[in-house]
């Protein structure tokens, strides 16, 4: 994407009512919406977050299917989620928002037990051992997810990485968490929820063209 295009999207994001772009300092010091997202959406509906939302395909796709839930896409790259934010405005989806911040700051953006679900869609698997701390399902991240999720809240992981799928599954079992559903090839093995099959990201469609298996995990953090 050209620099002019990025600048144009950054400028548009600043005008969108569904985009929040706090500074790091604002997030770390009493972020205004932390624990108060129901006031932002002006309802008491469950709140669902997509981490590393990219273009926002899942945030928007889920919002269309579940109008009685609120959806928030989190990504540090605002030029990417511009697409989702614009679509949500164009299609009048009041249950969609995007926050430009780092995923590591999740517990500063949301209060204790504020979320009902977390979606992680096609994260970088960070295969090298020295990158373990950056894997979005490592123990540190899981502990943070548990803090912001309600007691019965769920986490969804959809990925093209067999490594990420296996690593996460093994870690969940080892830590004693509850695996609700696991499928190592969702388009060849039946049983996955409709939203997992029917909402496809830009990159997922490319993976499917080369017959790359897409995996899915749904789990609950119980310990």
Select which of 90, 92, 124, 160 is catalytic: 124
How many angstroms separate the first and last alpha carbons of the chain?
43
106's CB contacts (< 8 A; 6+ apart) are: 49, 51, 74, 144, 145, 148
- Residue in 16, 48, 22, 220 with CA at minimum distance from that of residue 105: 22
| Spatial distance between the Cα atoms of 89 and 86, rounded to a whole number of angstroms | 5
Dihedral of CA atoms 172, 174, 175, 177 in degrees, nearest 10, equals: 40
Q: Is 124 a catalytic residue?
A: yes
Residues taking part in catalysis: 124
């Amino acid at each position: 994407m050209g620099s002019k295009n990025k600048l144009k999207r950054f400028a548009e994001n600043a005008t969108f009512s569904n985009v929040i772009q706090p500074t790091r300092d604002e997030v770390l010091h009493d972020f205004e919406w932390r624990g108060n997202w129901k006031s932002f959406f002006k309802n008491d509906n469950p709140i669902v977050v997509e981490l590393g939302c990219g273009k926002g395909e899942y945030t928007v796709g889920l919002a269309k299917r579940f109008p009685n839930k609120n959806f928030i896409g989190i990504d540090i790259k605002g030029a990417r989620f511009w697409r989702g934010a614009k679509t949500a405005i164009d299609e009048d989806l009041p249950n969609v928002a995007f926050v430009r911040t780092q995923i590591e700051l999740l517990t500063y953006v949301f209060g204790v037990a504020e979320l009902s679900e977390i979606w992680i869609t096609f994260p970088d698997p960070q295969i090298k051992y020295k990158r373990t701390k950056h894997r979005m399902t490592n123990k540190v991240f899981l502990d943070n997810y548990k803090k912001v999720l309600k007691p019965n809240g769920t986490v969804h992981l959809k990925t093209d990485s067999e490594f990420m799928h296996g690593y996460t599954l093994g870690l969940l079992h080892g830590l004693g968490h509850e695996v609700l559903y696991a499928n190592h090839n969702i388009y060849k093995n039946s049983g996955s929820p409709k939203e997992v099959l029917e909402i496809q990201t830009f990159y997922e469609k490319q993976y499917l063209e080369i017959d790359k298996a897409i995996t899915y995990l749904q789990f609950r953090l119980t310990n």
